[in-house]
Amino acid sequence: MTTPTEATDRSAHEQPEFGVLYAEIQQFYAHQMQLFDSFLAESWAGTFTEEAVFDVPTLPHPVRGRAGLVACVRHNEEAARRTGERLRHWLGMLDVQPRPDGTVHTRAYELVYLTPPGGEPTVHRVCVMEDTLVRRRGHWRTAHRVVSRDDLR
């Protein structure tokens, strides 16, 4: 029989490992989204695996590989120059599920804010983002991303 002290000790021992993983994933996304919103195309694409799949409803087909990811960011940057609008991506309600094979499945709500020149920011899109993350050379990388929009369901 497990005593309350043993259960508490085991719980305290197990939680930091998951807590560290969760903090790593949160930091990964904070960095990744800021690269994306800053149009740092190559750096952002570098947070994905070489063979990554990026499946978002704003594109007609899933993008495969880093060159395609860089092209997406360049397209967004050009659109922002034309309109003067600024997009910011905010992730929340992050669910992190480690898998036996070492990958991590994540699911998060993604709010996309749009700020027109001189205007007030508004929620532009409400999305769900699901990723498969892998650790490569000691760093987390997105291997597969699927984003769905609430208004298109």
Q: Which CATH number is 71's domain given? A: 3.10.450.50
Which are the contacts of 19, defined by CB distance < 8 A and separation ≥ 6?
none
Rounded to the nearest 10°, the torsion over CA 122, 42, 70, 29 is: -40
d(CA 52, CA 143): 5
pLDDT of residue 7: 38
Low-confidence ranges of the chain (pLDDT < 50): 1-15
pTM for the whole thing?
0.87
Count of domains for the chain: 1
Which candidate, 139, 115, 113, 136, places its Cα nearest to that of 126? 113
Range of the domain at 50: 4-152
pLDDT of residue 153: 78
Strand intervals (E) in 99-138: 104-115, 122-136
